[in-house]
Amino acid sequence: MSKKPIIVFEGIEGSGKSLHLSLVANYLKQKKIKFIKIREPGGSLNSEKIRKLILNNKSNFNEITDLLLFLASRSENINLIKKNYNKKIILIDRFTDSTIAYQHYGMGVNLNLINLLNNYLINDIKINFTFLNTVNNKNLFLRLKKRKSLNRYDKFNSAFYNKVQKGFIKLANSKKKSYMIVDSNLEIEKNKKLILNKIKKII
């Protein structure tokens, strides 16, 4: 595997993906290994502008507009990714699978359209490994409750999040070798060990 892989953290709200990404980032910092981290939507300056627009509670775009905005945000990140591709490890908090899981499995947008646009954008960029973080309904809503403020995508019902998570799991099961499913209902320390052991093998 590439020594400067692209590693993506996916999962629904409250699944611990951002926490797990920061564990990995801290480990790399400690080891003085160069990396960049990006979040989607967001990441680069222009993408962050689009993020605000999508997630604002006052926005009420339809699902196709949302899809195009998530992809617009991604499009603005591609240069940043290309600039660092094969030079530094790239950690990404949500990427192409989020679009498939939320916009297709959650909202029913046509999968071919999403794949076409995603593939056009990422072109020859290869995601080397994905940590899919999963959470049960109880912890999902407990964790959402603890947030200081909720954005437009933090307010769906359990049926929606269940559809999205099932979609993510389907994707992970279709490409088992490059995925690891992390059960975020377990203790943090346990998962930290699992994730860092995997990271040591990947980098």
Residue 94 binds ligand TYD, judged by CB under 6 A: yes
Q: Among 21, 38, 92, 102, which residue interacts with ligand TYD (rule: CB under 6 A)?
A: 102
Q: Among 6, 8, 13, 92, which residue interacts with ligand TYD (rule: CB under 6 A)?
A: 13
- String marking each residue 25-64 x if it binds ligand TYD according to CB under 6 A: --------------xxx-----------------------
Residue 162 binds ligand TYD, judged by CB under 6 A: no
Q: Report the residue number, 2 or 56, with the smaller CB distance to ligand TYD.
A: 56
Cα–Cα distance measured from residue 22 to residue 131, given in angstroms and rounded to the nearest whole number = 13
What letter represents residue 188's amino acid?
Answer: I
What letter represents residue 192's amino acid?
Answer: K
Q: Among 47, 77, 98, 134, which residue interacts with ligand TYD (rule: CB under 6 A)?
A: 98
Residue 167 binds ligand TYD, judged by CB under 6 A: no
Q: Report the residue number, 127 or 203, with the smaller CB distance to ligand TYD.
A: 127
Min dist CB 69 to ligand TYD, Å, is 9
Contacts of 10 (CB under 8 A, 6+ apart): 17, 94, 95, 97, 98, 101, 130, 131, 132, 133, 168
Contacts of 203 (CB under 8 A, 6+ apart): 3, 4, 5, 28, 33, 89
Q: Report the residue number, 154 or 158, with the smaller CB distance to ligand TYD.
A: 154
- Strand residue runs (E) in 116-169: 129-134
Q: Pairing state of beta strands 129-134 and 179-183? A: parallel
Straight-line distance from the first to the last Cα atom of the chain, in angstroms, rounded to the nearest whole number: 8
Which residues form the interface with ligand TYD (CB under 6 A)? 13, 18, 39-41, 70, 94, 98-99, 102-103, 153-154
